[in-house]
Structures are given as C-alpha cells and as structure tokens.
Structure 1
Amino acid sequence: MPFSRTFIFMVIFCMQSLAALLQNGFMATVLGREWVRSQGLPAGDMIMACLAASRFCLHGISIVNNFLTFAMLFTLKNYFFILWDFINTVNFWFTTWLAIFYCVKISSFSHPIFFWIKWRISRSVPRLLLGSLILGGLSAISSATGNTIAFQMMACENYTISYRTMAFYVYYFRCHSVLMWVVPFFLFLLSIILLMFSLYRHLEQMRYHRPRSHDYSTQAHTMALKSLTFFLIFYTSYFLFLMISATHIVNVHNSWHWAWEAITYMGISLHSSILILNNHKMRKALKIKFSDLRPARS
C-alpha cells in the first residue's frame, strides 16, 4: 500500500514537472528570441525571461535529483545537488526581484527614497540579475565545500568522529539554507505587504473622489496581487519544504516526500501559467502557436 501511494505521487510529480518544463521553456524561448532580435527587453520581461530559464532548469534538476536519491546513487546525486543549489538560489532571487519590481512600479508611495528606487529599478535590473548569479555561485561553492569536508570526515573509521561530522554537516547546511533562502523570501514577503498596503491606500483615496470609468491603478494593483498572492501560498510551502528537507525529517522513500514535492512544484508551475496569461507577448505568442496548429489538425 505505501509503495503504491508513493508510486502515484511520483507519477503526479513527473507529469506536472514535464508540463512545467514545457511552460517555462516556451516562456524562455519567446522572450529570449525577442531579447536577441531587439537587442534588449523591458526590465519586467527581462526578469521573467531569466526566471523562466531558471525554473526550467530547476524542474529538470529536481527530477534527476529525486530519482538519483530514490535509486540510492548518492555519488552522482551529490554533484547534481550542487547544481540544484545554484539554480534554486538563483530562482529564489529572480522571484524576489520580480515581486520587488511589481511593488516599486505599481505602488504609489510618495516618499523620496521610494521615488529614487522607482527611477533606478529599471536600470538596475541587469545588475540585480548578475548579482543573483553571483550569489547562486557562492551558494554552490559553499554547498560543495561543506559536502567535501563532511564526506571526507565521514570516511573515517572512528564512529565518534563520523557522528560529530554528520551533526556538523546538518548544522552547516541549516545555516547555509537560512542565509541563502531566508533573505530573498523575507524581501518577497515585504514586497507583497507593501503592495497590499498601497492598494488599500489607493482604494481609500478613491472613496473621496469620483471614480473614473477605467481605474488603471486599481487594475494594475489587482493583477499584480493576484499573481503574487497566489504564488505566495505555494512559495511559502516550497520554502517550508526546503527547511524540512534541510533537517532530514522526511525521507525520499516516504510517500509524503513525493506528495509535498508534487504540491510545491505544481505551485511554481501554476504561477508560470499566471505569468503567461498576464503577459501580452506571451498571450500573442500562444495565439500564433494555436493558429499554426489548427490547419495541421484538419
């Protein structure tokens, strides 16, 4: 019974991961082609293109990592884990920059510092993306260093040293996870809270003024919040899953591991769907794709 339940969750995880690969591959291809053709992209589309590429790699590596661990091929898994750590850290920061970009561009705060950030954010996006890659590289180096030290020490025949080494490795990985994942997650939450507060202030101002037929500010706030708030639920579950994985409470052979993997990665996949539907270029590319497929079916 447990094996059959694990198998069902594994199949669900693989199916939704393959769907996510198609989604994010489509986004990265469309925006990447536009980037090359026009020698540039708007700042928001630039973040989306990098986010789609990182998610494409994240889903692919997560499939490989889970099955290598399930098959107990730990030597190969350790190499892929370092690559996963790099992509995962980069993905965290790309998601955070997208939330901050929405917050800065849409919010209507009147503080001088906020105006300065709004003026600088579009120009700073390439540097922020490059900084995310550097942070991902530092995270991978830190993870590789910890793995190397831990496995060399665990090879020692002394049981006490091996036990203390394993305890050090768990503690090291927890500190590493907190440093690399908590900071972008906190900034992501702060961006959503500020965006909600900005929408609340805007609606309060609209009570004292006659509303226009088309309130573009409210529409922009609402669209951004729909995208970010929906993703917040799954982003939080993904973050919690990573924290639990860092403590090694749930084993990869446990059916609940695969269930949580399916749910959390499905959330990332659904957020990619929302990004596609909310982006004009993506909707246009989808229409062209579907129109090209119709004659082939007939």
Structure 2
Amino acid sequence: MFSGLSTLFLILSGMEFLIGILGNVFIGLVLCSECVKNQKTSLLDFILTGLAISRISQLLVYFLQSLIMGLDPQVFAIFKLAKPISLLWRISNHLTTWLVTCLSIFYLLKIAHFSHSLFFWLKWRMNRVILGMFAFSLVFLILDILLLETFSDLFWNLINEGNLTLAESKTHYIKNEILLSFSYFIPIGLSLLSLLFLFQSLVKHTRNLQLNFVGSRDFSTKAHKRAMKMVTSFLLLIMVHFLFIQLASWMFHRFLDNKFTKFILLVLYVFPAGHSFMLILGNSQLRQIALKVLKHLKSSLKRQNPLDL
C-alpha cells in the first residue's frame, strides 16, 4: 500500500508530466507540419523542434524517476538500473541546456546591432555559427558520458570491494557531481553574455532614436525587448533548474526516500514544462495557432453543451 505522500507525489508528477508533454508535443507537431507544408525549415524552427524533442525525453526521464521513487525507491540502489537512468538524465539535460543556449545566441545575432567586424562576421554566418556551436556541445556530451561511465564504475567497484566507508563514498560521490556540473557553466555563461549584449544593443538603439527624435515604439525596440524577456526567462529557469539538479543528485545519494527529495524532483519539471509555454507565447506563429486551437476547442464544447450560456 502506498502512503498518502507517495500517492500525492505520483499524482503531482503525472500532472506536471502531462502539462509539459502537451506544450512540447504542440511545438513539435506545429513546426514539423509547417516544415512539410513549406518543404523547408528555418534555423529557428530547427532549434525549437530539437528543443521540444529533447524536453520530451527529459520529461520522460523525470517521470520514470518519479515512478520509481513513488513505487520503490530502493531500485536506485541497483547499479544495472541506476546507471542507465543517470546516463539518460545527463544526456537529456545536456541537450536541452545547449539548445536553449543556441536559441539565446540566435536572438542575439538576429536582433542586436553592433558595428564591430567580428559581430558582422558572426551575423553573416549565423547558421553555421549556431550549428557549429551545437556540434561542439556534442563533444562535451561525449566527454561527460565518458567521465560519468568512469566515475560510476570506479565508485561502485570501490563500494563493492569495501574500500570505501559510507562517509568516504558520499564525499567521493559529491566531488564527482561537482566536476560533472562544470559543463553547465559554459552554456549558462553564453546565455548570460547574450542577455548583456542584447541589453547593450537596446540601450544604444534607444539612444539613437532619441537623438533622431523618433518614437521608441518601433519594430526593432520591440524585438529587442521580446528577445530579452525570452533570454531572461531562460536564465532564471535554468539557474533554478541547475541548483535543484545539484540538490537532487546529492539527495538521491543521501536521502533517497525523503519528502524533500520528492519536492526537488517536482520542481525539476518546471523548467522543461514551463519554458515551453513561454516559447509558445513568445513566438507569433505558435501563439496564433495555439489561439486557434483553443477557439476550436471552446466552440466544440459549446456545440456539445448547447444549453450552457
């Protein structure tokens, strides 16, 4: 029999999982259908589609962990099961973080205006720069996987051979997690630089408008502000997400079947689920199609209930 807390945890996990899947599947279906219809795809659509796919896999990993934690947390103590789950966790988080970073760089190169020759060169070769950066991130992913494999095998062998005490195993585990977390600093740093450069470009653009006595409600100003909102929302969510990932990794090792551990896992759903709806609201194409779908559902409900006012 499940306790009341485990039941509530599974219900909340299921709700967050369904909400996140709904938003990301919507993004994927809309962009894939547009690609088939137009027989071509843009760089932005490619990034958003890849982001939707990676987040769906991320949500599946989180939900699998929620099921195990709610049903039988001791499964994590089985090395043959814990190892692939940790690997999937690492891959999905890595791809999601880097794809959103690519989106931040895209907003910067597409919208910002600088007179520096290097910026012109990056802007002119934007597609190659962003695709190259994503390909470069796969090198980090391979290194992360190799490090994770090495640390995991070494860690479990030392425990099984009795060469590590409980306190030493915890210290060893935390040091490995800290070392593996360094790969997150690069994409977060790039996104932060994108936000700072967007803000600098907006300040410069606004000053030029004031000098030329032009109103501030022009298209470029709106585009700057919209891009800054998108990048800022990502940075806030990814920083909270990164903090709770580190807490989750530590709590999984020390306090597996714990109320706070389950709360941390519930918070982890917020980034892949919440940011997808922010992208829908921030993208005019996705927003318009979402409104059409909502209107269609509303009219269908009215037809099914004609007596409702």
Same fold (TM over 0.5): yes
Give the aligned residue type for 1:184: P
CA distance in 1, matches of 2:290, 2:142: 34
CA, structure 1 residues 253+290, in 2 after alignment: closer, same or farther (shift >3 Å)?
same
Residue 100 of structure 1 aligns with an amino acid whose one-letter code is: I
Equivalent residue, structure 1, for 2:203: 200
Structure 2 match to 1:239: 242
**1:102: Cα distance to partner?**
0.7
Aligned residue number for residue 64 of structure 1: 64
Which of 263, 266, 282 is the aligned partner of 2:267?
Answer: 263
Q: What is the RMSD computed on CA atoms of the aligned residues?
A: 2.7
Further displaced range: 131-140 or 217-226: 131-140
> How high is the sequence identity, in percent, across the aligned residues?
28
Whole-Å Cα distance in 1 between the matches of residues 210 and 254 of structure 2? Answer: 51
Is this contact kept in 2: 1:66–1:252, CA < 8 A? no
Distance 2:256 2:199 in 1: 38
Per-residue deviation at 1:205?
2.3
Q: Check the 8 A contact 1:96/1:185 in 2, yes or no.
A: yes
| Secondary structure at 1:220 match in 2 | helix
User: Is the contact made by 2:105 and 2:191 (CA closer than 8 Å) also made in structure 1?
Assistant: yes
Residue 41 in 1 paired to residue 41 in 2? yes
How much does 1:51 deviate? 0.9
Encode CA deviations 1:16-44: one digit per residue, 9 max, x unaligned. 22101111011112212333454432112
1-structure distance, mates of 2:205, 2:232: 18
- Which is worse superposed, 266-275 or 191-200? 266-275
2:248, 2:264 within 8 Å by CA — same for their partners in 1?
Answer: no
Q: CA deviation at 1:100?
A: 1.2
Which shifted more, 140-149 or 285-294?
Answer: 285-294
Q: What corresponds to 2:50 in structure 1? A: 50
TM-score by length of 2: 0.83
Aligned-pair CA distance for 1:50: 0.7
Work out the CA distance in 2 between the residues paired with 1:181 and 1:77: 22
- Structure 1's 183 and 250: CA in aligned 2 closer, same or farther, altered over 3 A? farther
* Partner in structure 1 of residue 306 of structure 2: none
Question: Residue 126 of structure 1: CA displacement?
Answer: 3.4
107-116 or 275-284: bigger deviation: 275-284
* Cα distance in structure 1, aligned partners of 2:203 and 2:270: 30
Partner of residue 188, structure 2: 185
Cα offset, 1:258, TM superposition? 3.2
Within 1, Cα distance between the matches of 2:157 and 2:132?
Answer: 37
Q: Give the total of aligned pairs.
A: 294
Shift of 1:101: 1.1
The 2-side partners of 1:39 and 1:136 are apart by 31
AA in 2 matched with 1:45: D
Gap regions ≥5 residues in structure 2: 304-309
Cα distance in 2 for partners of 1:112, 1:281 equals 33
Asked if 1 retains the 8 angstrom alpha-carbon contact of 2:109 and 2:122, the reply is: yes
Segment of structure 1 superposing worse, 187-196 or 37-46: 37-46
Alpha-carbon distance in structure 2 between the residues aligned to 1:157 and 1:188: 44
